[in-house]
Amino acid sequence: MPSVADKKANAPKVEKTKLNLQIRELLGDAYSFVVGERFTASMSTVSLETLMQEQINQIEGTDGKTSIRLNKKDALDRILNGISEVVKTVKALPAGSFSINSEDREDGNVNSTIDGEGEFPL
């Protein structure tokens, strides 16, 4: 068990630790106050109209548009055109292009209906 003399010798260290914690707590409170005030000021300038205008600019405007990154409307148009080209290419292929021959079946045709009669209409 520590003696009274040992406790008195450690007293300055304990007091210093308490002061360090108090200073850290006060600095943390001050920092939180400043950041909170900045956030409040920035949020007071935001309105529904500005948020809507930002979304419109992202969708069809030049906001964030570069030669590599398209706006959302152009990107969707590009995807739609790509899908249309693929569909045209697939439609131009003969129906036999999609048959899968199987060695497991006697007739070698796996493109038959569920009951096994005939082929699916394309």
SS3 93: coil
Assigned token pair, 115:
């009951």
Per-10-residue mean pLDDT for the chain, 122 residues long? 61 82 93 92 85 82 69 87 93 76 56 55 52
> CA 98, CA 91: separation in Å to the nearest integer?
11
Q: Residue 51: what pLDDT?
A: 86
Is the pTM higher than 0.85? The answer reads: no
In the chain, what are the domain boundaries? 4-93
